[in-house]
Amino acid sequence: MAGVMLAGSCGCATGGAGSAVAYMRGDLDATLSVPFERAVRASDLAVEQLRFEKVSEKKDALQAILVSRCAADKRVEIRIEKIDDEATKLRIRVGAFGDESIAVATYSQINANL
């Protein structure tokens, strides 16, 4: 299955930090040029702002997994992994097969919080 690159510059709103984003096989994957903790805070805030119902949150020094449900009762899983001190991997999966519109909206809200 071919991946679809999201159009436009997906740079963060602060200090020229950028990211690379792709939606493929039901997952939205992004590499963010921000520290791990900042990405976790932005993701947690996005879940609250989008009014998703938080189901669980697991976090250690290298990885965080935020699981919530949207109004359509689809499972929204946000995985955040530390790459290094200034880079973080983000993966968003909505439902069993993916939902690109909800994943992109979730990513956009996370990106706005950075």
49-84 confidence digits (pLDDT tens): 999 999 999 999 999 999 999 999 999 999 999 999
Residues 84-99 have pLDDT tens digits of 999 999 999 999 999 9
Provide the domain limits for residue 70. 26-113
Evaluate if pTM is beyond 0.75: yes
| Dihedral (CA of 44, 48, 51, 52) sign | positive
Exposed/middle/buried for residue 106 (C-beta within 10 Å: 0-12, 13-18, 19+): buried
Instruction: Give the pLDDT confidence score for residue 18 in this predicted structure.
Output: 60
Report whether pLDDT(15) > 70. no
User: What does the pLDDT average to over 103-111?
Assistant: 97
Residue 21 belongs to some domain of the structure: no
Residue 19 belongs to some domain of the structure: no
Q: How many domains does the chain have?
A: 1
**In CATH, what number is assigned to the domain containing residue 36?**
3.30.310.80
Residue 14 belongs to some domain of the structure: no
Per the structure block, which two tokens stand in for 112? Answer: 């706005």
Residue 6 belongs to some domain of the structure: no
